[in-house]
Structure formats: C-alpha cells, structure tokens
Structure 1
C-alpha cells in the first residue's frame, strides 16, 4: 500500500511497540496502588511525564495524561472556561479541530458567548481581527498551532503575548505540531497545550495536556482523584511509557518533508488542481490540502483507495460530516469548493516513489 494519511495517524514506532508489550506484560500494577508493583508503575509514569515535560519545556507537575487529543482539548477548554477568570466570552477560530468546536458548543449551551474568527486567504488567523474581537469579559482564547487540514502554522507566540497582555487564558491544540515544530518556545507563555501520541509513532488512545500548575481550573468531573483531579480512571501505563519512547525516537526531517511536498506539487501541474496553503514560513510541509475542480474530494479518495493509495478528505474526526472541511470555509471558499477538498499527508517513512505513485494516479484521474 501507499499510505499518505499521516495527519490522521502514523505507524507505531518499533521501540515504542516493544516498550508497550514489555510494560503490559511485566508492569501490570496500578500506579495508584501503594505496594511495590504499584510503585514500579508509578515510577514508569513519572519518567514518561518528565520526558513530555522536557520536550515541552515546562514543569512535569503540569502534565496530565488523557485518552486522546480529542479528550485533551475538551478537558482543557472546559476546565479553563468554567474557572470564570474574567467573564463568559471565548474566542476561537472557525477552523479548529472538531473536539474544540464540541467543547465550544457545550459552553455555548451553558451561556458562554463564542466568537469564531475566520482565516485570511493564507490560512492563518489575522491578529488585528483577533485583537478587535477581545472584550472586557473575554476569558479564554483557543487557537491551534498547526491546522490539521491544510497545515498552516498559526502565529501562536504572538497570540500568547496578546492574551497575556489582556490577562486572558490561552489554550493551544498542538496535536499536529508536537515534535515537529518548537512548541517549547511558547509553552511557558500559555495556560494549556494538547498533544497526542499516535501522530508521532506512539499508541492510539493516549495523549496528554499541559495545564499551567499556577492557573486555577475547574475539573470537568468533580471529585475524581487521579491526575490532579482533572481526569479520573486508572492510568494506561503501557501506552504512557510507549508514548514517551516514541517522543524520544521521533525525528522530523523538515528539509526532506519539503522535498516530498515539492515533488507532489510539481507533479500536479494540471490546471484543475488547486493547492490550499499558506506562505512557506507559515506552512508545515507534510500536510497538503488540495482541490480538484469539478470533482468531489470523497470521489478522489475512493478512486485512490482502489489503487491502495490512502489519503483523506480532511480530519478523520469529520468523516461523517456533510458540510465540507472547516479550513476551506474559514478562508472564504464556497461550500462547493469545500466539497472538492482532499488531504495528502506524509511522514518519515514516505518515499519519493510513494509521492510519484500518488501523483501519477491523480493526474490520470
């Protein structure tokens, strides 16, 4: 097969797979148990927490393990918003991950007012537009680092400074950028960050959030005792250790990813192909958003699937949505154009031949 859907999920790292198996087989004590078997698991979790914290450049006390990036986004946003630091107004973008919109919709039903700002034609948030949307009762901003559909990089450092100047909490979804871009450069300036294991060679069903230990939050599930009271349930020690091992091993060759992208885009020279992207300094190269004029993205995906070439029509979490992709609509494209969108994303195991094979079938189609 030719797998080109790395933004949805990546192959599990071999060393992480071994680590998962060994921990599951030999370290089955509950990390919350007080006996030695529990202590062994506790030590393993503490090591993993430290690995993640060092990668983010934050204190390990702020790391909370979750079951996914989706759960992490929802926990972080609801916990920060319900602390009611300033008021009941929240700012986000139109093109966030589905989980962010799910959290916003929940808060809206609770009486919060949500402002959803669009992207510019280059696929990024307009800082002037964002600042103009801030009100005296704005309590939270949640804007992603890298868009999962078109790969544009948002100006998170500038947003963090803006939020801090107004005393507003800021949550950043870093699921697509973690270990690929320098998250540590702004991590200490924000209040919450979401990451996921399976985007970087770790196991599915495991993620984490960083919540600033000095920021007051209201737990989504009051009364639970695990993870600083922010998330209940026995920790999945094998997945947590495997995630940390994947982080240690993960390598993102930026130059090679640009080579793959350039090979793909040069091969799609037909006038019916339209690449949806930002300027190169605001673009993660391994996520390519493309429209084929006059052809639905789902049809393109199915035709490539027949040739065992695997791409997507956007975020896997939106697979049942009939409204098109959020990023395309956020930059001002029409509903019809959004229906023509498909996404090609690649990783360390992708070869030039994989790209050539995909481009050849697309051109034939």
Structure 2
C-alpha cells in the first residue's frame, strides 16, 4: 500500500521514536514531583518548551502542551473568551474550520456566530471579514492552512484587522506547523494550536500558544499541570519526541516545499488525459501548501475513487479524517458553495517525506484508468 494521506496523519519518525523510548525509560518521573527523578523530567520538559518556542518565535511562557490539535483549539478558544478585550458576544469563524472548532462553537451559549465562506480561490475574503465585524465582535477564528485543499490564509492581514478592532484572533496551525516558517506570524495572533502526529511525531500530543499578556481563566478549575491550563500528568516522552520531529522538519522546510511543488506538478500533469472532468481547488503558488491537493472528478463520487485506489494499492482520502465517520461532506466543500452531489465527488491527496516521484506518476495513471473505466 502506497500512502497518500499525510494530511490525516504521519508515521512516527525513527529518530523521534528513539527519543520517545529513551525519555520513557530514563525520564519517566512525573514532572510535578519534587524529588530528583521528577526534577530530571521537569528539566527535559522545559528544555523542549524552550526549543519549540525558539522554533516558533514565541515567548515560552505562553506555550502549553495538550493532547493534540482538537483539545488545543478547544482550550485556546475558551481561554480567549474568558478574557475578551471588550464586552461582546459575537464571533467570526471560517466556514471551513476543522470540526473541533465547529464543536466548540456549537456548544457556546449566548454567542452569535458569523461563518465566512470561501471564494473559488479558497482564501478568506478579508473585506467580507471586515464587513462582518460589529461592536460586539470579540473573537475571530481562521485556520492558517486548510486541511482539505491546502490554501494558506492571509494571517498577517487578518491579524491587523483584529488589532484595529480590539478583537482576539485564534488560528489553527495544525497543518502548517513543520511545513511553513511560522516565525513571522506567531507574534501576530492571540493564540494558535499545533499537533505532533502531523509532523512525524507521536499521536496524542500537541500544544497551544496563548499570548502571555492575556489573563485567561482556566476552563478546568483546580488543575496544577501546565500552569493550570489543563489537567492531567504531562506526557514528557511524547513532548520530547514531538520536539525532535519538529527540529528535524524545521531544517528541511525549503527543500521539502520545493520537492512537494514538483510532485504536485507531476500529479496534476498526469491527470491531463481526464482534465475535462477534474476540478482542482487551489490558490496561487504563494498561498498554497503544495503537499495537499483537493479536487473532484465530475460525475464520480469521491468514495468510489478512494475505494478503487485502495483496491489498486493507494491510500487517499475524501476529506478530514476527523469527520469521516459522520458521513458528512468535507467542510471545505460547503464553504466553497458546492452542491451536495459535487461535494460527494471530493477527494484529497497529500504528500509526505517518503513520497516518491514514481509513485505519484503511478497514482495519477491509476486515477486516469479508474475514471476512464467508469465513464465507459
């Protein structure tokens, strides 16, 4: 089976795995314990916090470790709402946000929420965002990179608008962490979330940054871990492993981008024989993560193509793995205004560091054969 679903999750890097085992066996103490074994674990934890803060260009005092991106989004939003810059009960969010964002917003009581659609470019219309702002707007939520089509949102411009209107700004960095240099935009947002398993780190670990100037109140009262940000014993081995994976990817950002851009071009060119049926959803090169390709084939359900690809030995997806079990259309298709039948035609192909040029060519040829056979 050849894997083309790296946007869903990645295999654990071998060096990161070694770090995990070593930390689990040699630094097994509870980092909150007062004895020397606990102290060793705490030292490792704080070293990781400092290293990740340096990679991200942030103040380590605002960095908290969580179980992953979904929990991170939840806690960040609750933290920002506990300390708004002004009185109000209005939130603006992207319609194509990750399901964890929609989950938080759906449970909020007393708030009105404006959801912003996506134009054909897949990029938030910042003028429409500005028009949606009212005197009651206290929070804007826009993910950095869309997990289903890979478009990169104009975070700096959105952050400027939020600052001018005294509005907190949260961004989901799960798909951009380890793939894009984030240092220029991390100081601009109120909070952001990230996850380890998207960057060849372990599952069940991630983090949140909340601007230290924000005096948030803990959602879970009485917690002593992570400065009270969340309860539960800190998973130091997973944090160390994620940090090792992040360091490794950070050293390869430019090379990886160029390689994924080449693979993207190869795949799209390989689909040329069926181009009359293929609709790719993407932005210009400068606003597009090249490793994620979201497309649909007219007249063929994405699930059919996914299952046929699986039969031929290729793993692709029909959207975010976090909502597949609900049989709901990919949220980006709704945000793009696709009809119900068009939404069902959506598939996602994503590359990783083990993706080979020849495998991309084979996948493209296989999809062409599948479509031609179906059309016959």
- Distance in structure 1 (CA, Å) of the matches to 2:178 and 2:84: 32
1:52 Cα deviation from its structure 2 partner: 1.1
- Alignment equivalent of 1:304, drawn from 301, 305, 309: 309
Match of 2:17 in 1: 17
Equivalent residues of 2:120, 2:281 under 8 A apart = no
Match of 2:337 in 1: 332
Q: Secondary structure at the match of 1:258?
A: helix
Match of 1:89 in 2: 90
Q: Secondary structure at the match of 1:342?
A: strand
1:272 Cα deviation from its structure 2 partner: 1.4
- Distance in structure 2 (CA, Å) of the matches to 1:123 and 1:201: 27
- Alignment equivalent of 2:288, drawn from 280, 283, 290: 283
- Distance in structure 1 (CA, Å) of the matches to 2:70 and 2:125: 25
- Distance in structure 1 (CA, Å) of the matches to 2:154 and 2:77: 19
1:151-300 maps to which residues of 2 (within 5 A)? 151-250=150-249, 251-252=252-253, 253-269=256-272, 270=274, 271-300=276-305
Match of 2:373 in 1: none
167 and 84 in structure 1: CA distance in 2 versus 1, 3 angstrom threshold? closer
Aligned length: 363
Equivalent residues of 1:93, 1:118 under 8 A apart = yes
1:297 Cα deviation from its structure 2 partner: 0.8
Deviating beyond 2 angstroms after TM superposition, the runs of 4 or more aligned structure 1 residues are: 82-86
- Distance in structure 2 (CA, Å) of the matches to 1:185 and 1:294: 42
Q: What CA deviation, in whole Å up to 9, does each residue of 1:197-246 have, x standing for no partner?
A: 11111101000000111112222112211112110110011100001100
Q: Secondary structure at the match of 1:131?
A: helix
1:72 aligned to 2:72? yes
- Distance in structure 1 (CA, Å) of the matches to 2:352 and 2:45: 28
Structure 1: gaps spanning 5 or more residues: none
What TM-score does the superposition give when structure 1 sets the normalisation length? 0.98
Q: What CA deviation, in whole Å up to 9, does each residue of 1:155-196 have, x standing for no partner?
A: 001001110111110011000001211211011121101011
- Distance in structure 2 (CA, Å) of the matches to 1:224 and 1:91: 30
Match of 1:128 in 2: 127
- Distance in structure 2 (CA, Å) of the matches to 1:211 and 1:240: 18
- Distance in structure 2 (CA, Å) of the matches to 1:48 and 1:354: 36
- Distance in structure 1 (CA, Å) of the matches to 2:71 and 2:298: 36
Structure 2: gaps spanning 5 or more residues: 371-376
The alignment's C-alpha RMSD in Å is 1.0
- Distance in structure 1 (CA, Å) of the matches to 2:244 and 2:286: 30
- Distance in structure 2 (CA, Å) of the matches to 1:320 and 1:299: 16
